[in-house]
A = this chain, B = another copy of it.
Amino acid sequence: MADFAIGIDIGGTNTKFGVVDKNGHILSQDRLLTNKHDAVQDFIDELHEKLQPMIAVNGGPQNFTGIGIGAPNGNYYTGNIEYAANLKWRGIIPFAMMVSDKFGLKVKLTNDANAAAMGEMMYGCAKGMKHFIVITLGTGVGSGIVVDGKIVLGHDGFAGELGHTIIRPGGRMHKGTGIRGTLESYASATGVRETAIEMLTEHPHVESLLRDYSINDLITSQTVYECATKGDKIANDVFEFTGQILGEALANFVMFSSPEAIVLFGGLTKAGDLIMNPTRQAMEANLIQVFKNKVSLMFSELKEADAAILGASALVWE
């Protein structure tokens, strides 16, 4: 039979997992705190414990084609998680092999943004497309690039790190990488918060609802969004500025692989038109003629929790 797959999405905070059928229906799902266990093996043991009943109720392992995993710094070629900055487990971890040993099933692993791109291609708004890019706008900025219907992995499996491309040379220092002016320093939830604080500091005499929030912890991309919808000027400027930079970066990506669409995914997309409009405008303004008004820029239509599991499971059907 082999009609089911398991999808596992390992995030910095939560690990989501579930059983998925070939039509992209999630039959059952659960979650687990990623950093609950210091040892990787303990984490995999608990995963197995929670998935065991889901596998049993769906006819046992013989009904499962395999397990797909999306993980930060996951490498498709090696099946390893390598030096993931946001995970407790250090160094190079042969994660796919360990999971396969525990479950007795075939395992495919890739990075989380690539898994998101797989999910969009099989079940989301990139269905049927052969050339598109998914940009994940969350705490960080990730990307999954599809060319000729396949994820671009590069010669070592690490391709698609568009959050680390330079778009403001000499600009903000990225704490994780030490590189200045990269997209992630601006177009992430963290970047939006930082832009807001910068603007409040640079314009001390401009009134803003944001000044009612503590700079230490309460100014987040969410509060900036809420203030913007209430007409707050600085909050709106933050999204204009963020969209300008994101749009310029997207224009660069279009000139690389000429995709049919760019799908935006993740927390920051909740800002809707506030982020979409300036982004689209800046992207179009910086494209050469041959690309203008050709690329669909859209938000993912998949529910974030579902997308993660679906994307990971999609690796199995590839």
Contacts and interface: CB of A to CB of B under 8 A. Distances in A.
Interface of A: 73, 82-83, 129-131, 145, 147-148, 150, 152-162, 164-169, 177, 179, 248, 251-253, 255-260, 285-286, 288-291, 294
Given A161-B288, A177-B288, A155 B258 contact: yes
A111 B73 CA distance: 35
A159 B258 contact: yes
A199 to B, nearest CB: 18
B145 A256 contact: yes
Contact of A162 (B156, B161, B168, B255): B255
Q: Closest 5 interchain pairs by CB?
A: A154-B258, A159-B258, A131-B155, A165-B252, A155-B260
A165 B160 CA distance: 17
A255 B82 CA distance: 16
Nearest to A179: B286
Given A148-B150, A159-B256, A166 B251 contact: yes
A73 B290 CA distance: 10
A165 B248 CA distance: 9
A51 B222 CA distance: 67
Nearest to A165: B252
